[in-house]
Structure 1
C-alpha cells in the first residue's frame, strides 16, 4: 500500500491523459497523496476541475501562478514528493527532459528535482520508433529515469504498434516498486527472459520450449527487494511481472539491440533461452510444398548476447550472470561456459526431458562462480528467484 506516500503527478498532453484520472483515484484508494500538475497540452484532454476533484487538491499548471513563487515555489513543489510520475509522458515532454529544457511548469519541475522520476510514455508508434525519440530514451535511462511501458496495441490514431501508455494497474505496480525500500533500492538491474523466435517465413519460426517462468520470477524477486528492473522478454507464454519496465522482442538480434539500449546497469541477468542460429535468408512469403522436394534452409549464428556484454571494455555491468541449460555433463559444461563467455556467475540446470524443468514450475540449479559450484535443492522457480535475488543483494552490499 502507499499510505503516507506523496506522488507528484505530471499529466502530459495526449489522448492517454484520460487514464490519469483513474490513476489518481486508484492511488488515493491506496492511501497516497497526489499533487497534480496539468500541462497546458494536457488540459486539452482533461479538465483541471476533474483532476482537482479526484485528487482533492489544487491543480498546478502555470509556472508563474504558484503560491509564494517569490519563495521559489516550483523548487519546493518538485522536491516535496516521494516520487514524480509523468503519465502520459509525450515525445515532446521526454525531449525536454533529455535536453534539460525548462520552459513550462512540468519541465521546470523535472529539471529542478532531486526526487526519483517514473515516466509512462504514450505516443504514436512512428514517434516512439523515431531515432530522435530513441536517443532521448537512452539519455533518460542513463540519467536514472524509470520507465513503465509503453505497450503495443491499437492506437487512437488508427495505427498499431508500441506507443500505448501502460495500463493503470501496471503503473500502480511500478510506483509501488519504485517506492519499495529494500537491499536493492537504487540498483538498476537488467533481466532477459523467454525464448526467441527466428523466422523461417511469415508463418514459421525456430524456437525452443522456454516458458519464461524463471526469468519472470527473477525479475519479480529483484523488484521486491527494491531494484529498478528492466525486463527484456521474447515471446514467452508466462506474462511479465508487474512493477518492472518491460521491453518485448522477437529475435536474438532484437534482444541484443534492446540490451545495448538499456545499458548501463549494475547487474545483468541473462535468463533468456536465445536461439543459437537463425535462417540466413528467411522468406518474406510462405514457403509452399512443391514437387521439387524439401526446401533448403541455410543457417547463420545469432549474436552471443551474454559474451558481448560480459566482454565489454567500458560500460560492463558490475555483475553479469548467465544461464546454462544442459542435458548432460551439466557442471562441466556450465563451468566451461562461464570461462568461455567471461561472465561472473552461471546458473546451471539440467533440462533433459526426464527432469520436467523446461516449461515446468520447479527448478534445480547449481550456482557456479569463481569460488566453485554450489548445488541448490530442487524448489519452485519463485524460491530459486528469491534465493538468487538475495545472493545478488549480498554481493552488492
Structure 2
C-alpha cells in the first residue's frame, strides 16, 4: 500500500520510542522507504543503530554532522518526503513546531517541507491534557497538520489516562489512508454488515455464515475516501473501523428499524449484510427441553422477515442503493431479478460455493451488474480490493448525477 512512498520518521524523546522500531518494520512491509531522524533526547532511549538496521538507511541525528555527501540534509529530506511522521511526538516537539521553532534537524525538516505532517503524540496524561499542549495541537490541526489520537490506558509513569502512543498498526493504517483519494468527501454512507440472529428460545437461534468482512471492508474504504459512514452491524467478531458510527443490532427487524433511522439523510445505502429471511413465528420464553421417547422432534414454524433491501430500494428518492446477492446457482439470473425487484443501482453477486468466495473468507470473486444489465466480472481478490472497485463505481454514479 505504500510502495515507492518516502516516509521521513521523526523519533523524539519518550519511552514510546520502543514502539517506533516496530513502526519502521510495519512501514517497510507496506513497501515504504523509511528515513529516520532521531532527536538528541530520543538517542537517550534507543541507539541509532536499531533504526539503521530496521530501515536499512542511515539514521539522521544532527544538523552539524560530518558531511558524507554534498547535499543540505534538512532540505534534501524535506524535499524527498511524501509524509513526515513524528512518532512518538512529545509535547516539546509539538510545541516547537506549533510556534515555528526550528532548533534541531527534525523541526527544521518540518519547516522546510511541503509534505503532509502526521503526529502520534505520546506523553503523560496531565501533560497531554495541559491546556497549552491542547492549544498547540488545535493550532496545528487548524494549519492542516494531522494527529493520530493517543490511546487510553496505564502509562509508563504509572498514571492511567490518555497519552499512550497509538499502536504501530493503527499509525500505519492512518498513513496509508492519507494517500487515498478523497473522492467521497462529504457523502453520507449507510452500510449494513454481518448476519442477523433470530431467537428460538433463550439459548438457541437461527443465523447464517456471514462474517461481516465485506461490509466492514466497505466501511473502512469509504471512510478512508472521505465519506461519513454509519455501519449497521449484526453480531460479528470484527473490530469496527475507527471513525465510523457503529450501530449494533441482532435481529432482522432491528436492522430494518436501524436503517430507517438513517436512510432519509444518507446519500448511499450499501446492503452488504445477510439478514435472516425467516424467523420463528413464536419464541419460547424458556429453553426447549428434550423429551424421552422416539417422538422427540420439534416442529419449528418460520415466517417471513421484512426485506430490508427491497423496502428501502423502492423507497429511495435521490439515494444510491447497492445490493448483494450471495447465491449457489444461476447467479446472474437471480441477481438480475433482484436488481429490478429491489430497485438497485447495481448489485454485487457471488457464488458462495466457490473456494475463496464464500462467507468468512478474506477474499471474494464477484460480478457487478448494473441496472442496465451490464456485467463486470472480477477475479479472485481480497475484500478490500473488491470494496474499492464497488466504491469507484459509486463515485462514478455520484459524478454523473452532479
TM-score class normalised by the smaller sequence: 0.5 to 0.7
**Displacement after TM superposition at 1:141 (Å):** 2.5
2:173 maps to 1:176: no
Matches of 1:231 and 1:16, distance apart in 2: 32
Q: What corresponds to 1:377 in structure 2?
A: 323
Q: TM-score, normalized by length of structure 2?
A: 0.56
**Displacement after TM superposition at 1:14 (Å):** 0.6
User: Does the C-alpha gap of structure 1 residues 364 and 137 become closer, same or farther in structure 2, counting only changes over 3 Å?
Assistant: farther
Secondary structure of the residue that 1:107 maps to in structure 2?
Answer: helix
2:309 maps to 1:364: yes
Q: What corresponds to 1:160 in structure 2?
A: 160
| Mapping of residues 216-295 of structure 1, within 5 Å | 217=217, 219-222=219-222, 227=225, 238-241=238-241, 246=242, 271-272=245-246
Unaligned runs of 5+ in 2: 193-211, 249-253, 279-306, 327-347, 349-382
Secondary structure of the residue that 2:84 maps to in structure 1?
Answer: strand
Matches of 1:123 and 1:192, distance apart in 2: 36
Matches of 2:153 and 2:392, distance apart in 1: 32
Matches of 2:126 and 2:190, distance apart in 1: 25
Secondary structure of the residue that 1:377 maps to in structure 2?
Answer: strand
Number of equivalences: 290
Verify the 8 A CA contact 2:230 2:245 in the aligned structure 1. Answer: no
Matches of 1:169 and 1:158, distance apart in 2: 24
| Mapping of residues 269-348 of structure 1, within 5 Å | 271-272=245-246, 327=257, 338=265, 345=267
Q: What corresponds to 2:147 in structure 1?
A: 147
**Displacement after TM superposition at 1:177 (Å):** 2.6
Which range is displaced more, 135-144 or 89-98? 135-144
Verify the 8 A CA contact 1:345 1:369 in the aligned structure 2. Answer: no
**Displacement after TM superposition at 1:95 (Å):** 1.9
Matches of 1:369 and 1:384, distance apart in 2: 25
Verify the 8 A CA contact 1:34 1:55 in the aligned structure 2. Answer: yes
**Displacement after TM superposition at 1:370 (Å):** 11
**Displacement after TM superposition at 1:10 (Å):** 0.5
Matches of 1:156 and 1:55, distance apart in 2: 26
Which range is displaced more, 156-165 or 380-389? 380-389
**Displacement after TM superposition at 1:18 (Å):** 1.0
Question: What's the CA shift string for 1:109-145, capped at 9, x where partnerless?
Answer: 1121111222211111222222223222222233332
Secondary structure of the residue that 1:158 maps to in structure 2?
Answer: coil
Matches of 1:117 and 1:231, distance apart in 2: 25
User: Does the C-alpha gap of structure 1 residues 32 and 231 become closer, same or farther in structure 2, counting only changes over 3 Å?
Assistant: same
Matches of 2:391 and 2:6, distance apart in 1: 32
Q: What corresponds to 1:258 in structure 2?
A: none
2:394 maps to 1:391: yes
Secondary structure of the residue that 2:34 maps to in structure 1?
Answer: strand
Verify the 8 A CA contact 2:82 2:116 in the aligned structure 1. Answer: yes
Q: What corresponds to 1:24 in structure 2?
A: 24
Verify the 8 A CA contact 1:153 1:164 in the aligned structure 2. Answer: yes
Verify the 8 A CA contact 1:192 1:215 in the aligned structure 2. Answer: no
Matches of 1:121 and 1:107, distance apart in 2: 15
Q: What corresponds to 1:253 in structure 2?
A: none
Verify the 8 A CA contact 1:63 1:105 in the aligned structure 2. Answer: yes
Unaligned runs of 5+ in 1: 195-211, 248-269, 275-323, 339-343, 357-361
Q: TM-score, normalized by length of structure 1?
A: 0.56
Matches of 2:60 and 2:128, distance apart in 1: 28
**Displacement after TM superposition at 1:91 (Å):** 1.6
**Displacement after TM superposition at 1:48 (Å):** 1.9
**Displacement after TM superposition at 1:172 (Å):** 2.4
Verify the 8 A CA contact 1:37 1:106 in the aligned structure 2. Answer: yes
Secondary structure of the residue that 1:78 maps to in structure 2?
Answer: helix
2:69 maps to 1:81: no
Verify the 8 A CA contact 2:14 2:88 in the aligned structure 1. Answer: yes
Q: Which one has the largest radius of gyration?
A: 2
**Displacement after TM superposition at 1:15 (Å):** 0.2
